[in-house]
Amino acid sequence: MGNVLIVVEANTNGSLRKATLNAITAGHQLAKATGGDVHAIVLAKDATALAEAVKEYGVKVVHAASAPQLEHPIAENWAPAIAAAATAIGAEWVGAGATAIGRDVLPRVAAKLKAPMASEILSVDGSGADVTVTRPMWAGAVIATVKLAGAVKCFTARTTEFAAAEKSGAGEVKAFAAPAADKQYSKFVDFKEVKSARPALTEARVVVAGGRGTKGDFKPIEGLADELGAAVGASRAVCDAGWQPNDLQIGQTGKVVAPALYVAAGISGAIQHVAGMKGSKTIVAINKDGDAPIFQIADYGLVADLFKAMPELQAAIKATK
C-alpha cells in the first residue's frame, strides 16, 4: 500500500496555495498507481484552519502539525516533522510542489528518510512496482524517465504539468505532534511581499515577456500586458542588467510558466529561457531578427521592431473591446 504524503503550502494570507493543489494531483496519480491513499501535512503555528481547507481535495487524512517553530517554512524545522509523519503513515512517496519552499524542504526530508528524490516531476507512469516518473534534465533538452528504488521516495512536482486538484469529498483532520527541530543554521528574519496589481507570474493565463531587445524600456511590454490583464515576465538578460527585478525571470534559473498565451518580445529564445516557457499553450514571438531561435517554437511569429509592433497590437486589441 503506497500511501502518499503531500506537504501543504499557504499563501501569505494563510489560504491554500495553488501549487499545493497541483502537487495533490500528482499525489493522486501516485496513490492510484501504487494502491495507496493521499495524506497531507500542514505545518504552521496553528495548522487547524488550513488543514480543514485541504481535507476537501480527496485527501484521506490531513495531519495538522501546530508548533511555534513551524510558523515559517524553514527546512531545519519542517523536515523533521514531515519525515516523522511519513514514517508514521508508512508513506511510499513524500512530495510537494516544485516551489521555492518545496525545492528547499524536500531534499532535507529525503536525506532524513535516506530516500531517493526526483525533482520537478512532469508525469507519473506505470503501476505497482513499475511506477516511473519523468523529469527534465539539461534545461529540458532531455526528459528522463526515472524509477526510484527503496521503500520511501521523495519528489517535487512541476506545478504547470499537473492540473489543480478539485474538491472531491472530505477526509479527516488529525493533530500531529511535531518532533523537535534540527540544529538551526538559518533563522527567519523578515518577509517583504512584492505587491503588484498584475496577476502572479506562475498563475497568470497570459504572460507578456520582454528581453534584451527592449533595451530596458518595458513600457511596450507593460502596456500590452495591462491591455490583456497579463503578468509581465523577463529574460535573464533583462534581470541581470537590473532593468527588471529577478522575480520576473522566466527560464531554467527563473520561474517555470505555462500560460494559455505567452508573448515573447525581443527575446532570442535561448534554450535556458525556453526551458521556462515552452509548456505555454500558444506562443507569440515578436523579434526583428527573422532567424531568432524563438521562432522555432512560436505558434505565431512577427518579424518586427517591438517598439512599433507592441503599441500597434495593444491599440488593435483595445479597439476590439
Ligand X SMILES: Cc1cc2nc3c(=O)[nH]c(=O)nc-3n(C[C@H](O)[C@H](O)[C@H](O)COP(=O)(O)OP(=O)(O)OC[C@H]3O[C@@H](n4cnc5c(N)ncnc54)[C@H](O)[C@@H]3O)c2cc1C
Residue at shortest CB range from ligand X: 251
Q: Point out which residues bind ligand X (CB under 6 A).
A: 211-213, 235-238, 249-254, 266-268, 270, 272-273, 276, 286-289, 292, 305-307
Residue 125 CB, shortest distance to ligand X, in Å, is 28
C-alpha of 292 from chain center: 28
For residues 311 and 305, give the distance between their C-alpha atoms in angstroms, rounded to a whole number.
11
- For 219-255, letters b (16+ CB in 10 Å) and e give ebbbbbbebbebbbbbbbbbbeeebbeeebbbbbebb
* HSE of 151, CA atoms in CB hemisphere, 13 A: 7
Residue 247 CB, shortest distance to ligand X, in Å, is 12
Residue 275 CB, shortest distance to ligand X, in Å, is 7
Q: Kindly tell me which of 62 and 274 has the beta carbon lying closer to ligand X.
A: 274
Which grid coordinates are listed for 223?
502596456
Q: Kindly tell me which of 73 and 266 has the beta carbon lying closer to ligand X.
A: 266
Residue 98 CB, shortest distance to ligand X, in Å, is 14
The contacts of residue 69 (CB under 8 Å, 6+ apart) are 77, 178, 181
Residue 180 CB, shortest distance to ligand X, in Å, is 38
- For 106-142, letters b (16+ CB in 10 Å) and e give bbbbbebbebebbbbbbbbeeeeeebbbbbbeebbee
